[in-house]
């Protein structure tokens, strides 16, 4: 792979990862409740989902998803249902104070937050198809594709984690502003509404990757 291709891939990859999406909304929400570092580390769950998607794309298995309506619909429905579940929980969340949030964070399993990140990402079938449409644009067909995927994959994950940290940073800096219970409740319900809207978007998703604009985040 040429240096020019890598220099083109990096900014394009960063822009793609920074595009708003359900996972980024989750990072912001986690950061407002548990702080920057917990939200950032929880993003590892999302990265694990991306690893699976990259491996699937590299193995050519995403073609099965593209051609199987049943599999596509199963992933789509499962992902949408999970987003609706998160939206419902967030809508009903109590507007706790920062001190209460910190106490909750001590008992709230980081593994469960990472699991949320993983399930939201894994429940997006268009993200899997995105990995079959985006990286190949930078692959040199005159060389073996495997080593090139092995280079582009980790670079994509690094850019994804930078995006996770950026959105967690935003969430952590509005945490003080949300100290008032009424503001915190309103924020929870805005996030819940957006997650619900994202769930509706998942239900409306189609298999075609033509003109793909769906971001993995």
Inter-residue long-range contacts of 193-196, CB under 8 Å, 24+ positions, other chains counted: 193/87, 193/91, 194/22, 194/25, 195/22, 195/25, 195/26, 195/83, 195/84, 195/86, 195/87, 195/90, 196/83, 196/84, 196/87
Q: pLDDT digit string (tens) for 80-102?
A: 786 787 777 777 766 554 444 44
pLDDT of the residue at 162 = 94
Q: What is the pLDDT of residue 141?
A: 63
The SS3 of residue 109 is: coil
Confidence of residue 107 (pLDDT cuts 50, 70, 90): very low
Of residues 111, 103, 83, the one with CA closest to residue 204: 83
What's the mean pLDDT in 130-149? 72
Query: pLDDT per residue over 185-198, tens digit each?
Result: 777 677 778 777 87
pLDDT digits (tens, 9 = 90+) for 35-65: 899 999 999 999 999 998 888 777 766 566 5
User: Cβ distance 40 to 164 under 8 Å?
Assistant: yes
Give Cβ neighbours of residue 95 (< 8 Å, ≥ 6 apart): 181, 182, 183, 184, 185, 188
Kindly report the average pLDDT of the chain as a whole number: 76
Give the pLDDT of residue 205.
65
Please say if the pLDDT value at position 69 is more than 80: no
């Amino acid at each position: 792979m040429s240096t020019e291709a890598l220099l083109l891939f990096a900014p394009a990859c960063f822009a793609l990862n920074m595009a708003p999406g359900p996972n980024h909304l989750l990072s912001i929400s986690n950061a407002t409740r548990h702080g920057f570092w917990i939200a950032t580390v929880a993003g590892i769950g999302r990265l694990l989902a991306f690893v699976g998607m990259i491996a699937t794309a590299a193995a050519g298995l995403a073609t099965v998803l593209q051609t199987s309506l049943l599999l596509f619909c199963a992933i789509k429905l499962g992902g949408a249902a999970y987003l609706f579940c998160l939206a419902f929980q967030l809508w009903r969340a109590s507007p706790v104070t920062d001190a209460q949030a910190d106490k909750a964070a001590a008992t709230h399993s980081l593994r469960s937050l990472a699991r949320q990140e993983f399930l939201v990402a894994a429940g997006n079938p268009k993200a899997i198809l995105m990995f079959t449409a985006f990286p190949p644009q930078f692959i040199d067909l005159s060389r073996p594709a495997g080593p090139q995927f092995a280079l582009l994959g980790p670079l994509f994950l690094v850019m994804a984690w930078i995006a996770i940290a950026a959105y967690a940073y935003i969430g952590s800096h509005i945490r003080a502003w949300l100290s008032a219970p009424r503001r915190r409740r309103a924020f929870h319900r805005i996030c819940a509404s957006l997650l619900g809207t994202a769930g509706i978007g998942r239900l409306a998703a189609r298999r075609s990757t033509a003109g793909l604009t769906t971001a993995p985040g």
